[in-house]
Structure 1
Amino acid sequence: MTAIPTRLLGTTGPRVSALGLGCMGMSALYGPVDRKESIATIHAALDAGVTLLDTGDFYGMGHNELLIRDALDARPGSRDQALVSVKFGALRDPAGGFLGYDGRPAAVKNFAAYSLQRLGTDHIDVYRIARLDPDVPIEETVGAVQELIDAGYVRHVGLSEVGAETVRRAAATAPVADLQIEYSLLSRGIEDGILPVCRELGVSVTAYGVLSRGLISGHMTRERVRELGAQDFRAHSPRFAAENVDRNLALVDALREVADGKGVSVAQIAIAWVLGRGEDIVPLVGARRRDRLAESLGALDVVLDAADLEAIERAVPAGAAAGERYGPEQMAMLDSERAGGRSGGRSGGPSAA
């Protein structure tokens, strides 16, 4: 693999590796994890030139931040190499349930204080509320992050899963580096309204779910779907449901034919497709193991020409996925899924990013 290229997050944000590592699955929502392998995977990512590590303060109720701290502490100087993106705002109970989101300025600063302590750092590189708090104007939440920037505790403002109008309001309040939002061959909703507005305003996209939670990784089978445990988020995801999974895996089979024709894996061609959507898009790969990380990094060497893109489009047309990307309760919390970015109620559900 060649050296990892870099991309700029927005017109005012940092320069990061063209692929970032999403660390959520090392602590939450995808079943049992191996701590040693998780840390080894973070180290392998850093060794390969990955600089962007993405986490959330509610992933494992702080476990993920502590894991990243331990991984960076084990490699002197790695904190200067890594840029850590943190999502905040999700409220949880002792049983692990989700209680909604809190974007009040006092809460923003409180969340940041705990994240700084858990991460063992004096600053957070990109800070973003995980979901819009429907009871707090985005201007107040972003304004609080800007105050943390002014005080030296945060470097850049980020956003997560908000609609075009909310992006506009946030960017009018403070410079916004990037919007983190789901984007993949199976989830292309940002293309119509949100992505054009981000490009108009100079806001980059950090794309999560580029393999649709493993659904289009090429490693998921009907048997594996049936074996997903109750603690695995995907067991409750509409796209993995019995009535939808056959249709979705048929799309993967069609994509596999395109990948085989290029001599690459399904995961690599799916990631390469997202990489090719623009220099202002940085895919986050949720690898929990070194072999999966290596496979994902191989996507950087995949060049898709016009014929390849046409073949991919035939295999997985826009809107072809069966089922929503989240269940109804969580979909209701996505400002990005509402016309104009209007907010709804405070009820919450499991957040997979």
Structure 2
Amino acid sequence: MRTVGVEEELLLVDPETGEPRALSAAVLARAARREEPEEEPSFQKELHAQMVEFATRPQSRTDELAAELTRLRGEAARHAEEAGCAVAALATSPLAVRPSVSVGRRYRWMEEQYGIATQEQIVCGCHVHVSVDSDEEGVAVLDRIRPWLPVLMALSANSPFWQGRETGYSSYRRRVWLRWPSAGPTELFGTAGAYHRRVADMVATGTVLDEAMVYFDARLSARYPTVEVRVADVCLRADTAVLMAVLVRALVETAARAWAAGEEPVDHSISLLRLADWRAARSGLTGDLVHPVTLRHAPAERVVGDLLEHVGDALADNGDLERARASCAALLREGDGARAQREVWERTGSLREVVAACVRLTQE
């Protein structure tokens, strides 16, 4: 069974006002005191000092992944409380924020190179790593999962507010993220050699600093033998983050099996994939999506159902089929993170209350 790991970025907020707080250094210092020196740190700094990131270890069993993800959210909350703030699984801040770029040569380079786009990137995502046997298998997977990635974004949508305003989007984080010059869907690569040549050519332009700054929606990890899928908002609830991991692992396994069987990937154009991406960010689960196979609009419920059917064998083999069905049904019935935020806003008229509710839901 393939291993899977999750990286989550969390927003640090004032527990009273709900405004983002630039306290990542204090939070990380407290986390470092509690981790074993010989282990790779679970918590790391991010581009902005109002954010903190954690990463689970690779796991084969979904129950163990879920337990670790919940534990790390709890630890993040404790470290933040000790530092005088709280953590919220919010992909964007509902309240206005003054950006504070973290200290470091890499971040300063980004600020100088990309200007206001760097300042505005206070956005929190959920990245899923799934093990692959080789770069060749990994690139075959990248070529075959492309059409399904907008569906994952729709399921995770959790950013309807930006700088104190309702955006009309379920995932406004996605619109902000695409301001990076290397972000977005990719063409078919065909071989690992072609993939690595494309990445090297991008670095050679001087527009990105290194391979890690090539922000494809799905890529080969520069550090681990994994495919890394990067389209999801950070999920408001931990069980939705687990669903992302379950679905990504199943997509990777399904794609690897198709490659081994000699099935060619579908050659959808990037222009159409961008439209599917935009629609998923705009609608989330509240309206139609662009179907990954037909590239025609279809109800979100049907598209999610077809995703489950597409990866059903892999889900069953991993022991995740019933969990995935139940989680998707709950999201379609009760709504995604964007809907949860909007419901608080409609009930209270207070973005501060939206943040407070999300702080609570982050740790459920």
**TM-score, length-normalised on structure 2?**
0.28
